[in-house]
Amino acid sequence: MTRPATIETAELGLDEADLSLMLTIRAFELKLLDLYGKGLLNGTTHTCLGQEYIPVAMEALLDPRDRVFSNHRGHGHYLARFRDPAGLLAEIMGREGAVCNGVGGSQHIHRDGFLSTGVQGESLPVGVGVALHLKRTDPGRLACVYIGDGTFGEGAVYEAFNIASLWRLPLLVVVENNGIAQSTPTSRHLAGSIAGRAAAFGIRHRLIETSDVAEIRRTLEPLVSRVRSHATPLVVEFVTRRLGPHSKGDDTRSAEAVRDLREQDWYERCAAADPDRFHLLDAQARAHVDAIAAEVMARPPSRWETR
């Protein structure tokens, strides 16, 4: 495939590789919903539609030897780290070549320092343990844990914050605050603020409201460097949007509310900024995911041999 030269544009704040990756994640998630709609997928899934830019922005700030913990809504995190839609789709569909042989599925993935789990808040104490290990054996590396606003209902969050701060551990907590926990808006499940909760433990907190990848990286680079150099925790809170349902077909929000969110979506903003290039890259991403889906679906079932 011939690819156009990388273009930096001030309007997008994105180079082509970043935009392509965001579009690939978008296309991947849309493909999953399409496959579910057709009855071709087993179980459930949680798409990150609207949040794709966050792991793409973060990935440039992370070292390959950092450890990354993802959650139930983790496809974007995995794809930003490994650019492996085929392995992930095979995992979700239980086909040969699945990252975890089809055992873990959408929300339990482990590969080279990346691990996702399906229970809210569970990975934070684990991330603290990994950060303790890294501080002693590999200074400068960090444990990055992605959580959501809903996760703040779990006590494990505060137990982990407390220990990470007390023991001065290199723990980077990335909060994807999409304003809704399954069907419950943040205003109905979270008293006070995430910033206030971080402050209570003496942990620095940074709010990110833009979806501009370059601006996010410029803002966070010195803060993430400090996590490494000072072995100290940091909470980065992204104000973001979940465009899709919690899992599949379970969105109780009004069409109008979702339409408002779509108007704020990075996808619309980027499309308007440079329509020709955007639509070319988008078509490429969709074609790429379509081809992968067709190929993965034709594979034999995965096999689970080493238990």
Partner 1 sequence: MRVGENLNTALAALLAREPNLYVLGEDVVDPYGGAFKITRGLSTSFPDRVLSTPISENAITGVAAGLALSGDLAIVEIMFGDFAALAFDQLLNFASKSVSMYGSRLPMRMVVRCPVGGGRGYGPTHSQALQKHFVGIPGLALYEMSPFHDNLAVFEEMFARAQPCVFFEDKVLYTRRMGAVEPPFSLTVSGGVARVFLDGSPDCVVIAPGGTAHRAMAAMRSLLVEEEIGCTLVVPSRLYPFDELDALEADVRTARHVFVVEESTAGGTWGAEVAHLLHQRHWGRLARPVTLIHSADGVVPTAAHLERAALVNETTIHSVIRETLRG
- Asked if 12 touches partner 1 (CB under 8 A), the answer is no
Considering only 25, 58, 62, 98, the residue that binds partner 1 (CB under 8 A) is 98
Considering only 35, 60, 126, 190, the residue that binds partner 1 (CB under 8 A) is 126
- Least distance from partner 1 to the Cβ atom of residue 109, Å: 7
- Least distance from partner 1 to the Cβ atom of residue 112, Å: 12
Name the residue nearer to partner 1 (CB basis): 132 or 195: 132
Considering only 48, 62, 80, 163, the residue that binds partner 1 (CB under 8 A) is 163
- Asked if 300 touches partner 1 (CB under 8 A), the answer is no
Supply the DSSP string of the chain, one letter for each residue.
---PPP--BTTTTB-HHHHHHHHHHHHHHHHHHHHHHTT-S-S-----TT-THHHHHHHTTS-TTSEEEE-SS-HHHHHHHH--HHHHHHHHHTBTT-TTTTTSGGG--EETTEEE-SSTTTHHHHHHHHHHHHHHHSTT--EEEEEESGGGGSHHHHHHHHHHHHTT--EEEEEEE-SEETTEEHHHH--S-HHHHHHHTT-EEEEE----HHHHHHHHHHHHHHHHHHT--EEEEEE----S-SSSS---S-HHHHHHHHHT-HHHHHHHHSHHHHHHHHHHHHHHHHHHHHHHHTSPBP-----
- Asked if 187 touches partner 1 (CB under 8 A), the answer is no
Scanning 125-133, 175-183, 215-223, 281-289 for contacts with partner 1 by CB under 8 A, the matching segment is: 125-133
What track of x and - describes contact with partner 1 for positions 47 through 86 (by CB under 8 A)? Answer: --------------------x-------------------
Contacts to partner 1 by CB under 8 A: 67, 98-104, 108-110, 115, 117-119, 122-134, 136-137, 143, 155-156, 159-160, 162-163, 166-167, 302, 304, 306-307
